[in-house]
Amino acid sequence: MSINCMRAVLEAAAKSQPEKPAVVLNDQQLTYAQLFTRVNQVAFYLDELGLPKGSRIGIYSKKCIDQVVAILAVMSTKHILVPMTQFLKTEQVEYIINDCDIKCVLTDQKHLGAIEQSNFAGKVVCYETTRSEIASFEEIYKYYNKPYNSDINGHDNALITYSFGLTGTPKGIVISHRNLIDSARVVSQYLDLQQDDVISGLLIFNLDYGLNQIFCSLYKRATLALHSFILPDDFFNHLINDKVTVLPLMPFNISQMFEGGNQRLPSPELFDSLRIITSSGGNVSAGMIRDCKKQFSQAKFYSMHGLTEAFRSTYLDPSQVEIRPDSIGKAIPDVELYVINENGKECAVREVGELIHRGGYIYRGYWNAPEETAMRFKSVEILSDAVDLEGNLTDETVVATGDYVYKDEEGYFYFVSRHDDMIKTRGFRVSPYEIESVVAKNIPQIKQCAVFGMDNEQIEEEVVMVYSADKEITKKEILFELKKHLASYMLPSKVVFKRSLPLVQSDNNRINKDQLKREMSQGL
């Protein structure tokens, strides 16, 4: 088996730290030895299904210890993991199932109905015992006790995560086992993670930032403390009771924990053991940093910038977060970053151009989407006017990120905008096209519809929908219908009625969203 896979890391951790808590959730916990045993039991069962090598296996469930077992079990086989957030609606899950031809889904009792409603024809395994025809983890743990041997190559595909591409439909990004081990190694290095750390498992395990919580815990033989943010009081209790030392967040989480005023915040001394806070998935405001510094005075704050097509590009050193809070920092180890203008030349200081990522942590490409892959994954030759490539092999791949940035005199990068019109809200990437398509299909009274994002410091951007119809439809009616088809974070926070929508002069088939944004910002 390759050393470049998380399975090898799990085996080594179970051997060296068998009695240490690996994952905890409230009063439940598994040691590394117990985690390894359960992962082997589920992996053995998955192999017995007889699926072809490389079959896609989905996970659609709540956050729990069994979910961590499921993730590591799939990654111990020669199959490919497809994690799906529990916030997705049935038709969105069905889209992903069909797009990558999922053969088996691991789920919980709460989400079992949604899988069955999607007309899924593959194998379903539930964490809890439900019906006799559906296998359960409870039964697997009871009856599957044979030794399990894993044989994984580091270059094999490990998982497919779904985000949103330029066309607006969800696109799966293919990630190898080697990618995952590299990402755990580099994060552990620049954060200086330790074996006695307790890493908060707050983020959902559907994208690489959230999954990296699991992988860094394994890599350092640390403890992963699971938590689902519902109320700020519960969140603070999680930090105190679990003795959390490393806290990965998204900017939206920071807004959640501090909303409502300071009068109910626990004493800062209760969090003296918290030594690291990380934030990715959106821009962090100076106010968010101040709040964190005040409440978690002993913690170093790392602001980071990641990509869909590569694990991470930059981080801002904690010593700089109050000096230049708007910066996304500098390149992480083993990465080179360039800012290129439309002529392929390297931009001057403070000149805006496209960010090009060269070096480590680049993923495989988009699943079954060669056009989207070709748009983002480029030959290193696109840097030929910026760097000396003499003697280099031109089949090296770099990522043309679609992010427009500039670099200051000291080499710090600053994010300006995205090439496409994707909306970043509450840590999620939302496609206006998908929302507009749902409106067109399900609310026939609406003649035209435009969806876009507008700045909101609390959640990065809020989703705004402007529509035209013969007569105004109440926001309540519109949201009632959209809730049937869209995840909660995709629902518009503002719904505006207009008799007609402005069109782009050069293309009367396109709504002029820039004009609508200007009107909205001016209160028109």
Strands (E), 341-425: 353-359, 365-366, 377-379, 397-407, 413-418, 423-425
Residue 360: the pLDDT is 92
Of 328, 226, 217, 225, give the one whose Cα is nearest residue 279.
328
What is d(CA 361, CA 181) in angstroms, rounded to the nearest whole number?
10
What is d(CA 215, CA 196) in angstroms, rounded to the nearest whole number?
15
Residue 508: the pLDDT is 55
For residues 404-443, one letter each, b for 16 or more C-beta atoms within 10 angstroms of the residue's C-beta and e for the rest, the string is: ebbbeeeebbebeeeeebbbbbbbbbbbbbbbbbbbeeeb
What's this model's pTM, rounded to 2 decimal places?
0.86
Residue 37: the pLDDT is 98
**Contact 213/197 with Cβ under 8 angstroms?**
no
At 389, is the secondary structure helix, strand, or coil? coil
What is d(CA 274, CA 238) in angstroms, rounded to the nearest whole number?
12
Average confidence (pLDDT) per 10 residues, the chain, 524 residues: 91 97 97 98 97 97 97 98 91 92 97 89 96 95 93 95 64 96 97 98 94 98 94 92 96 83 81 96 84 95 93 95 92 96 92 93 95 94 88 85 93 83 79 86 93 88 95 96 92 94 70 89 76
Q: Which CATH architecture has domain 32-152?
A: 3-Layer(aba) Sandwich (3.40)
Q: What is the DSSP letter of 205?
A: T
Neighbours of 284 (CB within 10 A): 25
Phi, psi of 461 (to 5 degrees): -140, 145
Residue 166: the pLDDT is 40
Residue 107: the pLDDT is 97
What is d(CA 432, CA 436) in angstroms, rounded to the nearest whole number?
6
**Contact 491/479 with Cβ under 8 angstroms?**
yes
What is d(CA 177, CA 13) in angstroms, rounded to the nearest whole number?
17
Tell me the per-residue pLDDT of 245-255, one tens digit each, with 9 for 90 and over: 999 999 888 98
Neighbours of 514 (CB within 10 A): 12
Residue 509: the pLDDT is 62
Neighbours of 484 (CB within 10 A): 11
The full set of domain ranges for the chain reads 32-152, 328-418, 430-521
Side chain identity, residue 402: G
Residue 425: the pLDDT is 86
**Contact 67/23 with Cβ under 8 angstroms?**
no
What is d(CA 130, CA 263) in angstroms, rounded to the nearest whole number?
45
**Contact 434/404 with Cβ under 8 angstroms?**
no
Topology of domain 430-521 in CATH is GMP Synthetase; Chain A, domain 3 (3.30.300)
Residue 167: the pLDDT is 46
What's the longest Cα–Cα distance across the chain?
69
Pick the CATH number of 328-418 from 3.40.50.150, 3.50.50.60, 3.30.300.30, 2.30.38.10: 2.30.38.10
Residue 164: the pLDDT is 46
Distances (CA, A) of 99 to 22, 93, 172, 477: 34, 10, 8, 31
What is d(CA 400, CA 423) in angstroms, rounded to the nearest whole number?
19
What is d(CA 69, CA 39) in angstroms, rounded to the nearest whole number?
5
